[in-house]
C-alpha cells in the first residue's frame, strides 16, 4: 500500500522466549458472562486511592449509574454494572497483592439489568478534544492493561515534549492471556474507530499498533480492516514474541526506537500508549454512550474445565465465572489474577473482577512454581539475570544490596528502573526470589524517603520555631528597651519641664 509509514525494527535487550499457553483460550470467541447475584466493588480504586460511595444502603441503582468516585486530579468514577439494590458496605477480600480485606460496596442484583437512559451519541468528529476527554472521564475509563491509570488524564499530556505518536499496545506478552487477541480478532472495526477518537483527542495523526508475531489472526484481522478502510495513518507493526515486549516502555522502544527516560513518562518522548481493551472501552463510550461496566477477561489455566474469554461485568466474583467455565479441574495450586509473570495470588475466589483484571489463571501444580523458597542456594554470579533483564540492570548486584539493606546503593544500581517483569527470577539457577527482594527493597526505600522527609519537615519546623522565639524575644527586649528609654526620657522631661508644666496647668 502506498503511503505506509515505514518503521525501523528495534530490538529489546534481554527478555525471555516463554511458552505462551495461549492455545487454551485463543480460539474461543468471547462469550458474555451471566449477571451474578452480587457485584462487589472495593472502595479503593488504585493503590491507596480511596473512593467515596455516592449511594446509600437500600438505594436501587441502574446499570451505568455512577455509584462511587475518587477525588483529585486523577480521580475516576465507578458505575454499577447491573441494576439492583445497594447492600450494607462490608469488609471483603479485594484484588490486591496483599490479600487484605477492605471496605466494599455491594450490589444485590435484581436480574432485570435495567440501564440508565443514554443520550443520543454525537459523532466524534463533532466533539472537541476537551469534550472527548470529558466523556471518557464520565464513562469511568481507566487503562485496562493492568495499571488502571485514568485514560482522560493520560490524554491530556503535560510535558515539554510535543506528542506525535499514539502507540496501541496489542502485544499480549504475558503467557496465557488472550483477551486483547480476541478483541482484535472480533472487533477490528470498533478498535479502529476507538483509535480515531483517541487521535482526535490528542489532535495528532499517527498511530502504531504493536502486536506480537505469535498472534497471526489478530495481525491479519487488524491489517485487513485498515486496508479495507484505506487508512494510512494507522499502522500495524509486528514485534517479536519475546516477554516483556508488551511492557509500555519496552513496546514504545520496539516500535519507535525512543527510550522513555528513567525518571519520566512516555509523553516525554512524544508518545501516548493505550491498551487494546482501553480503546474498545473508548469506542463503547463515544459511539454507544456506555460507561465502563464490562470488560473482556481471559479465564484460563489447566485448572479450569473450559478456559475461555468472557465479557464480564466489573465487580463479578471470580467464583461465578469459574462456574461458567465448567468449574475447577483437578488439584489447584494457585489462583492468580493477572499473568503468570506479573500477576498476584488471590487468597480465595470471592474476589470481584476489577477494571484492571485482564486474566484469571487457575493454575495446577504442573504450571506454577511450588513452595520454591525451600531450595534457595547462594548466588553463583552466573549473570543470567543480567542477560535477560529488559532494562539492563544487574539484578545480582541489586540483590546483594537489597539483602544488605543498603537502599541508597541499590537505588544507584537502578532499583526503581526495575519493572518487576520476573525474567531474572525465572532464569536464576539458585532459585532466588529476586523480584520479591526488589519489591521489598522498593517499599523500604520509599518508607525511608518518607521518614527522611518527615524528619526534615520536623527539623525545619523546629528551626523555624527557634527562630521565631528568638525573634520574639528580641522584639520583646527591643520593646522593653524602648519603653525604658521612653520612660527615662519622660522622667527627664518631667524633671526638667516640671515648672513649665506647672505653669501651664
Partner 1 sequence: MKSLWVTSPYLPPQNSVSKIMFKVLVALLPGIFLLALFFGWGVFVNILLAVLTALITEAIVLKLRQRPVLKSLKDLSAPLTAVLLGIAIPTVAPWWLIVLGTGFAIVIVKQLYGGLGSNLFNPAMAGYAFLLISFPQEMTAWAVPGSLNAWQFSDIIRLLFLEQLPEAITVDGITMATPLDAVKTQLAMNQESAVAVPATVERLFTQGWGWLSLGYFVGGLWLVQQRVVAWQIPLGILCALALISTGFYFYDDQSYSTPAFHLLAGATMVGAFFIATDPVTAATSPKGRFIFGFMIGALTYLIRVWGGYPDAMAFAVLLMNIAVPVIDYYTQPKVFGVRR
Residue numbers 363-402 binding partner 1 by CB under 8 A: 363, 368-373, 375, 377-384, 386-387, 390-394, 396-397
Site membership for partner 1, residue 253 (CB under 8 A): yes
- Residue number with CB closer to partner 1 (134 or 376): 376
Distance in Å, CB of 246 to partner 1, minimum: 15
Distance in Å, CB of 417 to partner 1, minimum: 5
What is the Cα–Cα distance from 48 to 402, expressed in whole angstroms? 25
Contact with partner 1 (CB under 8 A) among 131, 436, 444, 445 = 436
- Residue number with CB closer to partner 1 (229 or 350): 350
Four-CA torsion 180, 186, 191, 192, nearest 10 degrees: 130
Per-residue three-class SS string for 121-150: CCCHHHCCHHHHHHHHHHCCCECCCCCCCE
Q: What is the DSSP letter of 232?
A: S
Contact with partner 1 (CB under 8 A) among 272, 346, 351, 353 = 346
Q: What is the DSSP letter of 31?
A: E
- Residue number with CB closer to partner 1 (75 or 433): 433
Between the alpha carbon of residue 209 and those of residues 53, 110, 240, the distances in Å are: 37, 40, 13
For cell 488471590, what's the residue?
346
Site membership for partner 1, residue 343 (CB under 8 A): yes
By CB neighbour count within 10 A (0-12 exposed, 13-18 middle, 19+ buried), where does 280 fall?
buried
Distance in Å, CB of 343 to partner 1, minimum: 6
Phi and psi (nearest 5°) for 16? -130, 145
Contact with partner 1 (CB under 8 A) among 163, 245, 340, 351 = 340
What is the Cα–Cα distance from 37 to 4, expressed in whole angstroms? 50
**Helices 395-404, 434-504: inter-axial angle, 10-degree rounding:** 60
- Helix runs in 166-247, H state only: 179-186, 188-202, 216-229
| CA–centroid distance for 378 within its chain | 34
- Residue number with CB closer to partner 1 (287 or 344): 344
What is the Cα–Cα distance from 87 to 81, expressed in whole angstroms? 15
Contact with partner 1 (CB under 8 A) among 7, 66, 99, 206 = 99
Site membership for partner 1, residue 161 (CB under 8 A): no
Contact with partner 1 (CB under 8 A) among 179, 238, 413, 441 = 413
- Residue number with CB closer to partner 1 (70 or 441): 441
What is the Cα–Cα distance from 142 to 454, expressed in whole angstroms? 32
Site membership for partner 1, residue 267 (CB under 8 A): no
Site membership for partner 1, residue 47 (CB under 8 A): no
Site membership for partner 1, residue 244 (CB under 8 A): no
Site membership for partner 1, residue 443 (CB under 8 A): no
Are the C-beta atoms of residues 297 and 320 closer than 8 Å to each other?
no
Burial pattern 402-430, b for ≥16 Cβ within 10 A else e, equals beeeebeebbebbbeebbbbbbbbbbbeb
Distance in Å, CB of 261 to partner 1, minimum: 5
Site membership for partner 1, residue 420 (CB under 8 A): yes
- Residue number with CB closer to partner 1 (5 or 380): 380
Part in contact with partner 1 (CB under 8 A); list of ranges 137-145, 318-326, 422-430, 495-503: 422-430
Site for partner 1 in 115-134 (CB under 8 A): none
- Residue number with CB closer to partner 1 (124 or 253): 253
Distance in Å, CB of 172 to partner 1, minimum: 16
Are the C-beta atoms of residues 220 and 184 closer than 8 Å to each other?
no
Site membership for partner 1, residue 332 (CB under 8 A): yes
Site for partner 1 in 48-77 (CB under 8 A): none
For partner 1 (CB under 8 A), the number of binding residues is 71
Site for partner 1 in 1-30 (CB under 8 A): 13, 18
Contact with partner 1 (CB under 8 A) among 60, 414, 444, 445 = 414
Amino acid at each position: 500500500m502506498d503511503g505506509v509509514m515505514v518503521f525501523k525494527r528495534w530490538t529489546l535487550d534481554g527478555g525471555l522466549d516463554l511458552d505462551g499457553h495461549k492455545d487454551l483460550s485463543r480460539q474461543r470467541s468471547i462469550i458474555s458472562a451471566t449477571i451474578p447475584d452480587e457485584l462487589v466493588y472495593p472502595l479503593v480504586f488504585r493503590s491507596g486511592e480511596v473512593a467515596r460511595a455516592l449511594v446509600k444502603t437500600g438505594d436501587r441503582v441502574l446499570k451505568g449509574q455512577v455509584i462511587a468516585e475518587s477525588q483529585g486530579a486523577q480521580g475516576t468514577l465507578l458505575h454499577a454494572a447491573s441494576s439492583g439494590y445497594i447492600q450494607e458496605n462490608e469488609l471483603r477480600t479485594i484484588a490486591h497483592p496483599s490479600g487484605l480485606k477492605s471496605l466494599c460496596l455491594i450490589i444485590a442484583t435484581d436480574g432485570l439489568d435495567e440501564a440508565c437512559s443514554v443520550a443520543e451519541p454525537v459523532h466524534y468528529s463533532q466533539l472537541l478534544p476537551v469534550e472527548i476527554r470529558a466523556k471518557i472521564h464520565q464513562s469511568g475509563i481507566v487503562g485496562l492493561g493492568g495499571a488502571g491509570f485514568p485514560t482522560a488524564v493520560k490524554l491530556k499530556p503535560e510535558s515539554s515534549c510535543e506528542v506525535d505518536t499514539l502507540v496501541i499496545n496489542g502485544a499480549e506478552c504475558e503467557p496465557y492471556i488472550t483477551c486483547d487477541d480476541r478483541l482484535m480478532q472480533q472487533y477490528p472495526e470498533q478498535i479502529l474507530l476507538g483509535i480515531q477518537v483517541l487521535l482526535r483527542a490528542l489532535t495528532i495523526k499517527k498511530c502504531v499498533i504493536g502486536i506480537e508475531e505469535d498472534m497471526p489472526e489478530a495481525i491479519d484481522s487488524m491489517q485487513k480492516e485498515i486496508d479495507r478502510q484505506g487508512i494510512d495513518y494507522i499502522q500495524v507493526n509486528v514485534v517479536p514474541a519475546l516477554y516483556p515486549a508488551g511492557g509500555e516502555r519496552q513496546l514504545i522502544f520496539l516500535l519507535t526506537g525512543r527510550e522513555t527516560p528513567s525518571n519520566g513518562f512516555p509523553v516525554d518522548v512524544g508518545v501516548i500508549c493505550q491498551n487494546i481493551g482501553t480503546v474498545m472501552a473508548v469506542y463503547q463510550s463515544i459511539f454507544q454512550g456506555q460507561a465502563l461496566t464490562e470488560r473482556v477477561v481471559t479465564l484460563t489455566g489447566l485448572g479450569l474445565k473450559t478456559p475461555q474469554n468472557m465479557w464480564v461485568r466489573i465487580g463479578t466474583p471470580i467464583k461465578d465465572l469459574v462456574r461458567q467455565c465448567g468449574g475447577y479441574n483437578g488439584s489447584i495450586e494457585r489462583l492468580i489474577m493477572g499473568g503468570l509473570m506479573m500477576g498476584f495470588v488471590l487468597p480465595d475466589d470471592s474476589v470481584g473482577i476489577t477494571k484492571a483484571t485482564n486474566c484469571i489463571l487457575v493454575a495446577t501444580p504442573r504450571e506454577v512454581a511450588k513452595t520454591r523458597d525451600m531450595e534457595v542456594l547462594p548466588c553463583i554470579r552466573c549473570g543470567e539475570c543480567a542477560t535477560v533483564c529488559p532494562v539492563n540492570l544487574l539484578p545480582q548486584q541489586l540483590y546483594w544490596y537489597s539483602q544488605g539493606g543498603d537502599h541508597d546503593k541499590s537505588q544507584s544500581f537502578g532499583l526503581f528502573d526495575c519493572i518487576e517483569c520476573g525474567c531474572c527470577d525465572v532464569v536464576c539457577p539458585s532459585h532466588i526470589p529476586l523480584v520479591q527482594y526488589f519489591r521489598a527493597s522498593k517499599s523500604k526505600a520509599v518508607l525511608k524517603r518518607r521518614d527522611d522527609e518527615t524528619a526534615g519537615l520536623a527539623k525545619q519546623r523546629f528551626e523555624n520555631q527557634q527562630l521565631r522565639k528568638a525573634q520574639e524575644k528580641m522584639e520583646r527586649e527591643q520593646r522593653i528597651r524602648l519603653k525604658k528609654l521612653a520612660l527615662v526620657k519622660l522622667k527627664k522631661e518631667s524633671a526638667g519641664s516640671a515648672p513649665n508644666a506647672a505653669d501651664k496647668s
